[in-house]
Structure 1
Amino acid sequence: MWSRLLSPRVSGRASLYWRSLFTMQLKTSEFQSLFTDGLNGLAEVFEKHQHELRIAGGAVRDLLSGKRPEDVDFATTATPEEMKHMFQTAGIRMINNKGEKHGTITARLHNENFEVTTLRVDVQTDGRHAEVEFTTDWQKDAERRDLTINSMFLALDGTLYDYYRGYEDLQNRKVRFVGSAEQRIKEDYLRILRYFRFYGRVASEPGDHEPETLTAIRENGHGLAAISGERIWVELKKLVVGNHAAHLLELIYSLELAQYIGLPPDGDIDEMKRVWQNAKDRSPKPMTILAALFRSPEQVEKMDIRLKVSREEKNLALFLVKYRRELCKREDEPDSLKPFTDFIIDSRELDSQSKVCELLKYKGEEKLLSELSRWSIPRFPISGHDLRKLGITSGKEIGATLQELRDVWKKSHYQMDKDELLSNVKP
């Protein structure tokens, strides 16, 4: 049932807003599957000490969407000190105490780890970090979360506690901030990218944004400049392989955010939209989509300085920018893989086939991609040792001869064996 409560005034806003408590009972198979020996043991400890324990955040959203969550976070009214006492009394091992200052204790039961966090309220934020204090008020903890669909709790008896109409928004496939979008963003500017990422996961159509939300994002986008590149990259690479990625990247540019998150200010939007259309159904790597925005290797280098991507990701971007025009199928043999397999053979790099597969996704070459995915790199059957047996001892001559034989082998579509190839060597 719905019950309405008038909330306190939101800091920084002149008006009041309504919050609602919606409860329902969840009894799905996905929910029931969570109750392992470990979770049952955890629940017994909290029940014995009369502290509430609920599933929180994204796991609730997934369960309500009919999905079994990969990660399950828990919230509780117990303080970290109370949790430590409970677990020590029960002989439960605790690991990874780095989260304790934020209220998180990780307990290990039956070879499973359970992260449990004390309910919190933010007492001070700077757009990157928050100073928190603990509370026993579930509503206040929900209020400090970013999006309505992430602000729900689920008790272990299946009762849903929803204070900000997250369930309704999830059903209607709406993505909204809890309360004031501007306030939530100013608490942590990374929430701008989280909004886009969850929009791609939840919304059914592109462009179904609330105007006031986009206004708040535009007016506060500069705050992203102070967010670490590593945190931005975590969100960005999830965004670009989700639904509506082309729309969301174009929106990032129209809201003038690109300059703050490592993307080129003159990104090639048209190329990106074309590549996304080519690759979206073929599980592209995040950098395959983003590479379309870069007009030069220098822009890739600047992106890496800001985002600190992995070496593999950077090299893929540089490869795509360099070879998206150079490496292509031949006009006389449009269905032939040969230009691509020859490149892989010549490069002799372990990840060359993977890079070329991403290039084919980039280009939308579905047939060639399917063939290359099944292709195994053949082994060149000749070595320098074989040539020495024929009396060729000069290192320079061995190198030149090997290259000549490799060219002959490639022309044979890698079919010639060792004896056939050696027959081409002049004594």
Structure 2
Amino acid sequence: MNGLPGLRDGRLVDRRVLEAGRLARALRALDGEGEETRLVGGAVRDLALGARAGDFDLATTALPDVVMRRAAAAGFHVAPTGLAHGTVTVIVEGKPIEVTTLRRDIDTDGRHAKVVFGRDFREDALRRDFTINALSLTRDGVAHDYVGGLADLADRRVRFIGEPRQRIREDYLRILRFFRFSARYGEGALDADGLQAAIGEREGMAILSRERVRAELLKLFAAPRAAEVVARICEAGLLNPIFAGQADGARFARLAAIEAARGEAADPLLRLAALAVLIEEDAERLRERLRLSNAEFDRLSVLARGLSDLHGLDAPPPLSGLKRLMFERRRRGALDALTLAQADSGASPEDRRFARASAFLAGAEELTLPFSGADLMARGLTHGQRIGATLKTFQALWIRAGFPREPEALARLLDAALEP
């Protein structure tokens, strides 16, 4: 297939990854002697596309205890990370390889599945979500495809296996995965049946853990076609229940265009802010709705305060304003706020004024208050409340004066702050 440079006549063109290295060592230990073990998942998809694969997952007919015994005999460290679902993590050359026994679902609740182990690779493939995720590769480099995944991958099409609504009901996270994989591997219009099913089953996402939703969204936001796909998600109203508020797909697209114009990698958390943060309360809401980490929440909260500083501007603030922004919001918060302010301003993604302002914030020395409470105590102040009030007054005077660093100027400002 012309769209799959990594394959020729159904076989991997460059088989070095199967012949040497940690994947080859794992396959030698687990394949054969009455059991079959294949490479599955994203690595097969990437290799077929001619890309490098770094993370490896294996599927095997061997039961977990057999996998652990063989892996240990080969000298690998073994971690029984998911025995209930047949998954064992094998550490080869310091890196993990997940090995899962073939299985079939006997019951699902929209979040998790009860499984029984099997020995049929085709049956195992049919329980997966999308055709491009149901591929497997044997140790001789032959690609196995039971559901048309290679043709879909060549055409850059993301399709559910079988009836889309049934696949989604098995795990409602597949709604977001449909959009993520479409944004990462798809081209052209979204699969119509998949989109209709995602919209029809959207209420099922309410039962998902917020941590799983957060992780899937951040992966989606980093994908190459994220702006286009997120626009469709917003049109369908699928993010509003997740965020408990409106999602601004147009603002997301403007941010993505700015990142592209600057040659910057996609920033998933900043893109989340573009979708749903205007004020500090929005950051609070997202922390609760998505179980954001403390660091993620702090970044969004500082960004929101910086946006308030820049509200209504159609151009970057002058140098003094940029210095104040960085002093009050620190470098990361200032850069985040300025970038979203550009997205809100109507300025072009290539706007040179904003580019220069961003470059200044990225390279300038961060400003810190030149005096501390200890300095004031050395000047004779002893009362804690008086020290705090004096520092606050000095800070305001220092900012108004343009952040001077000369000792004489600082002394004059401190004297002014100490005046009763």
Cα distance in 1 for partners of 2:43, 2:366 equals 42
Which of 62, 75, 79 is residue 46 of structure 2 equivalent to? 62
Question: 371, 383, 399: which one pairs with 2:372?
Answer: 383
| Structure 1 gap ranges (5+) | 2-21
Separation (CA, whole Å) in 2 of partners of 1:420 and 1:361: 33
Q: Note the C-alpha offset of 1:360.
A: 2.2
Provide the secondary structure at the position in 1 that maps to 2:53: coil
| Conserved? CA contact 1:23–1:161, under 8 Å | no
- The 8 Å contact of residues 174 and 203 in structure 1, kept in 2 or not, is answered as yes
Partner SS, residue 199 of structure 1? helix
Q: Quick check: 1:24 aligned with 2:10?
A: yes
Counterpart CA distance in 1 for 2:97 and 2:269 is 33
How much does 1:329 deviate?
9.7
CA shift for structure 1 position 345: 2.0
**Residue 312 of structure 1, CA deviation:** 2.5
Matched-pair contact (CA < 8 Å) for 2:17–2:23: no
Instruction: Supply the distance in 1 between the matched residues of 2:170 and 2:107 (Cα, whole angstroms).
Output: 8
State the partner residue of 1:94.
78
Code of the residue aligned with 1:229 in structure 2: it is: R
**In structure 2, what is the equivalent of residue 77 of structure 1?**
61
**Residues 329 and 335 in structure 1, CA contact (< 8 A), matched pair in contact too:** no
Structure 1 CA distance for aligned equivalents of residues 336 and 19 of structure 2: 40
Q: Percent identity?
A: 33
Give the whole-Å Cα distance in 1 for the aligned partners of 2:206 and 2:235.
17
- Tell me the residue number matched to 2:33: 49
Tell me, in whole angstroms, the C-alpha distance in 2 between the residues paired with 1:256 and 1:406.
46
User: TM-score, length-normalised on structure 2?
Assistant: 0.83
Q: 1:52-95 deviations in whole A, cap 9, x for unaligned?
A: 22111111111222322231111111111222332344454322
Q: What is the aligned counterpart of 1:274 among 235, 244, 254?
A: 254
* 2:211–2:290 contact (8 Å) kept in structure 1: yes
| Aligned pair partner of 1:304 in 268, 287, 293 | 287
Q: Name 1:39's counterpart in structure 2.
A: 23
SS at match of 1:235: helix
Match of 2:107 in 1: 124
Q: Distance in 1 between matches of 2:123 and 2:13?
A: 26
Contact 1:240 1:289 (C-alpha < 8 Å) held by counterparts: yes
| C-alpha separation in 2, matches of 1:133 and 1:404 | 70
| Corresponding residue for residue 362 of structure 1 | 340
Letter in 1 for 2:90: A
**Count of residues in correspondence between the two structures:** 396
Q: Please state whether the residue corresponding to 2:405 is helix, strand or coil.
A: coil
Q: Which moved further from structure 2: 357-366 or 397-406?
A: 397-406
- State which of 273, 298, 317 in structure 2 corresponds to 1:291: 273
SS in 2 for 1:98: strand
Provide the rounded CA distance (Å) in 1 between the counterparts of 2:141 and 2:288.
47
For 1:424 and 1:91, locate their aligned partners in 2 and report how far apart those are by CA, in whole Å: 69
SS at match of 1:261: helix
- Summarize deviations over 1:179-231 as a string: whole Å, max 9, x none: 221221111111110010011111234xx123222221111111111111111
1:180 aligned to 148, 155, 163, which one?
Answer: 163
The CA deviation at 1:342 is 1.3
Cα deviation, 1:10-63, whole Å, max 9, x if unaligned, reads xxxxxxxxxxxx9612133xx524755543432332245342221111111112
Q: Which protein is richer in helix relative to its size?
A: 2
The change in CA–CA distance for 1:66 and 1:411 in structure 2 (over 3 A counts) is: farther
Report the alpha carbon displacement of residue 298 of structure 1 after superposing the two structures with TM: 4.3
Over the aligned positions, Cα root-mean-square deviation in angstroms equals 3.0
Paired residues for 1:333-352 under 5 Å: 334=316, 336-346=318-328, 352=330
Match of 1:134 among 105, 114, 117: 117
Post-superposition offset of 1:172: 1.4
| 363-372 vs 397-406, which moves further | 397-406
Contact residue 381 and residue 418 of structure 1 kept, 8 A: no
Change over 3 Å in CA distance of 1:407–1:417 after alignment to 2: farther
Shift of 1:317: 3.1
Q: Deviations over 1:355-407 (max 9, x none)?
A: 22112222333322222111221444333444444445554554454445445
Q: Deviations over 1:313-336 (max 9, x none)?
A: 2333334444424326988x9573
Mark the CA change 1:372 to 1:184 in structure 2 (over 3 Å): closer, same or farther.
Answer: same
Aligned to 1:5: none
Give the equivalent residue in structure 2 for 1:245: 226
Task: Determine if contact 2:60/2:99 at 8 Å carries over to the other structure.
Answer: yes
Whether the 8 Å CA contact 2:136–2:143 is kept in 1: the answer is yes
Distance in 1 between the 2:334 and 2:52 partners? 34
Change (3 A) 1:253 1:423: closer
